[in-house]
Amino acid sequence: MGDFIETKQLSHDAAMRMAQKAAEKATEIDQPQCIAIVDVSGDTIITLRMTGAKFLSQKSALTKARTAASNNAPSAAIPADFQPKIAAATQNNVTGLPGGLPIRHDGKLIGGIGIGSGSGDQDLACANAALVEIGAETFE
């Protein structure tokens, strides 16, 4: 590795389109959601709390997004027996709840998206819809 690393950055325009697409999917499935999109370092680019979404889900959505960006893996990939320990060690900044996905484009990690307020399957459906919007890798 040299002195410099070539990176790819998620733009705020792309993040806004992703949030819009996730909200459209949430409306389609009749489940208001909290949506958080972060850059690769976990800094917030955009958050949205849809009308009717649980207000505490804003925190879980952001934690899911940061977990996915930090680990370059879905938030649910944290092993169940390790979840309480890592939550305590990170002051609840890491979660194993489903709904957080890394944002990968052309094989490069560029951020994370977290969705919360519905079931795990509903959260993931909205997150994947957002990833499709920018041509990012999706997850089952």
pLDDT in tens, 51-72: 999 999 999 999 999 999 999 9
| Residue-averaged pLDDT of the chain | 96
38, β-bridge pairs: 44, 112
Nearest to 39 by CA among 133, 86, 102: 102
Q: What is the pLDDT of residue 115?
A: 98
Nearest to 42 by CA among 82, 119, 95: 95
Q: Are 139 and 101 in contact (CB under 8 A)?
A: yes
Q: Rounded CA gap, 130 and 99, in Å? A: 12
- Please tell me the total count of domains within the chain: 1
Low-confidence ranges of the chain (pLDDT < 70): none
Q: What is the CA angle 6-11-16, rounded to 5?
A: 155
Note down the domain range covering 108. Answer: 19-133
Q: What is the pLDDT of residue 55?
A: 96
Domain CATH for 40 = 3.30.450.150
Residue 1 lies in a domain: no
Residue 111 lies in a domain: yes
